[in-house]
Structure 1
Amino acid sequence: MKIESVLSGFVPEPRGRDGLTLAVLLARQTGARLEVAFVKPPAWDTPGPARAEAGAWAAYLEEQAGSTLAQARERVGDDAEVLTYTHRGSGRGLVELAHKRGADVVVIGSAPRGRRGRISVGSTADQLLHSSPVPVLLAPRGYAEDAPGALTRLTVAYRRGRGGDAAVTGAARIAAALDLPLRLVTLVVASHRRHPLGREMVAGMRRQAMADLTAAARGHRRRLQVDVEVIEGRNVATAMAAGSWERGDLIICASSNTAPLRRVFLGDTSIKIVRAATCPVMILTREP
C-alpha cells in the first residue's frame, strides 16, 4: 500500500475540520499530495414557474461552495488543491472523486452526533465504508482541537486470514516508509468466562491469538519494530478500553472477507472497533 495522494472530504463544520486536520497530518508525514473536496448537491433543473426558485437555489449552492472553499484554503494555504464536486450523496461523491483523482486514501471526520473523542458513522461514512475503491480514514470527533504533532505508531487489528495478513503487509509498508513502530493486536472477547469451561476456553483463545500474532509479525521484524498484544474483554468495547493507546496511534482494520475485491466493506467486528476507538481508524480495501 502506498500513500502518495490524500483526498479529504470537507464541510464547514467541526467534523470537516477534524477530518482535514488528520488529512494534513497524514499528507505532511508521508509527503503525499493533498486534495480537499466539498461535495455539493446538484442544482434543480426545473422548467416552468419553479425556474426562479431553482435559480435562487443554485445561487445559494454556489455561495455556500465559495464560502466552504475559502475556509478550507484558510486552513491548508498553498499546501493543497481545493475543489468542489457535485453529487446527490456526499459519500458517493467522494467515492467517484477518489477514483477520478487517483487518491490513495479518503479522510473524513466523525458524524456530529457522536461522543467527543469517538467515531460515529453517519451517512457519508456509511456510503464510503461500503463502496470506496481506496482505504477510508476516519477522525474522532474533536480531533482538530487536540491533534498530535505526528502519527507515532500504527496498530493493526489482526485476525488470522488472508485479509488480516494483507492488512499487516500494507501497514508494514506504511510504517517502514514513515519510520514508525508497528503493533499487531488481537481482541479476545471473553463473554463466556463464567461458564464452568469458560476460563479454559479463554486461555486457549489467548494462546492461539498470541501464536497467530507471532507468526504474522515474524516476516516483518527484520526491518521494523513490531510488537504484538492480546487484549481481552467481555466485548469489543471493553477489550478496546483495556488496551494501551497513544495520542499518535492510528488503527488499521481489514475489510470484511465478503467485500467485493478492491473495495472497502466494514464487517461486524470492525464497526465495533471503529465505534470504540479513541484514535483515528483506517479501513483497508479487500485485496485478492
Structure 2
Amino acid sequence: MTTVAGLTPGERGNAALHLGAMVARSNGDDLAVVVVVPTPWPPNPYRADAEYLAVQEVQAREALAAAGDVAGPDLTVRTRLHRARSVSSGLLEVVAEESASSVVLGSASSGLLGQVSLGGIADRLLHSSEVPVTLAPAGFTTAPGARVARVTVAYGRADRDSDLLATARGVADRIGASLRVACFAVRPPNARGGSAEPGAEDLVVAEWRRAVVAEIAETAGAGLETVVGSGSSWAEAVADVSWAEGDVLAVGASSSPVSRFFLGSHASKILRNAPVPVTLVPRSVA
C-alpha cells in the first residue's frame, strides 16, 4: 500500500513530509511524495502566467529532490510532479493512481504555528476523498524513524451509535499503537459575564465524565483509557489534555450528499485547536 504526502510549491517547512513518513512507516506503506502544479484552463497566453508556472515547477522539483533525505532511508519513497487543473483535483488523481491507503497534507500557511489549520486545498479535497485524510500542524517535525505511538479518539455525542471507536481500535492494534479516548467539556461564561461557581462546575463535569466513561465502556469494553479536557473555550479544553510526541488525534466525520467528509461544529473546533496531527475518519452509523 501507499501513503500519499501532498506538498505545496514554496511551502514553508516539511510538515506534510514528516507526517507522511511517520504514517507510512507505521502502516508499513511506501511513501509517494507529490507536488501538484496547477495548469490554468483555458490556457492564458500572457507571459506572466508562464513565468509564474515556471517558478512553481522549479520550487516543486527542489522540494521533491529533498524528500528522500527528510523521509529517511528506511522507507521506499517515490516522488511525483503532477500537473492538473487544481491542486486538490491533482491530488485525488494521484491517490487513485497509487491506490493509496491515506493522504497527508500540511496546514494552511495562515495557520498558527503548532496547530492544525484547514486550508482551501484540504477543504476541497475532503469533499471528494475516498480515503482518510491526515493533517499536520504547522511546523510539525519528527525524529528519524518516528512512528505513531498513540491514537486518541475525540469522542462526542455523534459517535455514540457509530463505528468510530471500533475503527480506531483496529488501526491502533494493527500499527502497534496505544489507544485512548478524549472528551472535551467547554464551560462558557454565564449570562452575568462571570463563570459559575467552581465547585458547581466541577460537580457537573465530574458527573458528566462518569456518564461518558460508562458509555464508552459499554460501547468499547472496560479498561480503555479515557481523558477529559475542560476549559472556558475549545482551545483551553483541548490543551487541558496531555499530548506527547507520536500522538495522532482521530476525529469522526460524517458524509453528506455533497461531501465525503462533513465536519460538525464540535469536530471542526477540535480540529482547529489540535496541537498534534489529526486524522479525519469517516463515521459509519451502526
2:211 aligned residue: 208
Once residues 145 and 79 of structure 2 are traced to their aligned partners in structure 1, the CA distance between those partners, rounded to angstroms, is 24
**Partner secondary structure for residue 116 of structure 2:** coil
Q: Output one character per residue of 1:37-96: Cα deviation in whole Å (capped at 9) or x when no partner.
A: 11111156558xx37666656655544443333233443467211112223332333233
> Aligned pair 1:89/2:78, yes or no?
no
**Correspondent of 2:62 among 57, 67, 70:** 67
Unpaired segments ≥5 residues, structure 1: none
1:1-288 to 2 correspondences below 5 Å:
4-13=1-10, 15=12, 17-42=14-39, 46=43, 50=45, 59-76=54-71, 79-144=76-141, 149-161=146-158, 165-191=162-188, 194=196, 201-218=204-221, 226-256=224-254, 259-260=256-257, 263-287=260-284
Once residues 128 and 97 of structure 1 are traced to their aligned partners in structure 2, the CA distance between those partners, rounded to angstroms, is 12
CA contact (8 A) 2:217 2:224 kept: no
Q: From the superposition, tell whether residues 91 and 244 of structure 1 become closer, same or farther in structure 2 (CA, over 3 Å).
A: same
Unpaired segments ≥5 residues, structure 2: none
In the superposition, the TM-score normalised over structure 2's length comes to 0.82
Once residues 226 and 187 of structure 1 are traced to their aligned partners in structure 2, the CA distance between those partners, rounded to angstroms, is 17
Once residues 211 and 218 of structure 2 are traced to their aligned partners in structure 1, the CA distance between those partners, rounded to angstroms, is 11
Q: From the superposition, tell whether residues 146 and 116 of structure 1 become closer, same or farther in structure 2 (CA, over 3 Å).
A: farther
CA contact (8 A) 1:39 1:93 kept: yes
Once residues 97 and 199 of structure 1 are traced to their aligned partners in structure 2, the CA distance between those partners, rounded to angstroms, is 50
Once residues 216 and 261 of structure 1 are traced to their aligned partners in structure 2, the CA distance between those partners, rounded to angstroms, is 30
Shift of 1:229: 2.1
**Partner secondary structure for residue 66 of structure 2:** helix
Q: From the superposition, tell whether residues 110 and 46 of structure 1 become closer, same or farther in structure 2 (CA, over 3 Å).
A: closer
Once residues 47 and 155 of structure 2 are traced to their aligned partners in structure 1, the CA distance between those partners, rounded to angstroms, is 56
Once residues 15 and 119 of structure 1 are traced to their aligned partners in structure 2, the CA distance between those partners, rounded to angstroms, is 15
Q: From the superposition, tell whether residues 153 and 100 of structure 1 become closer, same or farther in structure 2 (CA, over 3 Å).
A: same
**Partner secondary structure for residue 106 of structure 1:** strand
Once residues 274 and 49 of structure 2 are traced to their aligned partners in structure 1, the CA distance between those partners, rounded to angstroms, is 43
Q: From the superposition, tell whether residues 210 and 82 of structure 1 become closer, same or farther in structure 2 (CA, over 3 Å).
A: same
Question: Amino acid of the residue matched to residue 70 of structure 2?
Answer: R
CA contact (8 A) 1:135 1:283 kept: yes
Question: Amino acid of the residue matched to residue 72 of structure 1?
Answer: A
Once residues 34 and 175 of structure 1 are traced to their aligned partners in structure 2, the CA distance between those partners, rounded to angstroms, is 20
Q: Output one character per residue of 1:165-207: Cα deviation in whole Å (capped at 9) or x when no partner.
A: 4221121111111222100111122336628986665454333
Shift of 1:217: 2.7
Once residues 175 and 83 of structure 1 are traced to their aligned partners in structure 2, the CA distance between those partners, rounded to angstroms, is 30
More strand by share: 2
Q: Output one character per residue of 1:15-58: Cα deviation in whole Å (capped at 9) or x when no partner.
A: 561111111111112211211111111156558xx376666566
Q: From the superposition, tell whether residues 163 and 88 of structure 1 become closer, same or farther in structure 2 (CA, over 3 Å).
A: farther
Q: From the superposition, tell whether residues 44 and 70 of structure 1 become closer, same or farther in structure 2 (CA, over 3 Å).
A: farther
Question: Amino acid of the residue matched to residue 104 of structure 1?
Answer: S
**Partner secondary structure for residue 144 of structure 1:** coil
**Partner secondary structure for residue 264 of structure 1:** strand
**Partner secondary structure for residue 111 of structure 1:** coil
Once residues 95 and 173 of structure 2 are traced to their aligned partners in structure 1, the CA distance between those partners, rounded to angstroms, is 25
CA contact (8 A) 2:154 2:249 kept: yes
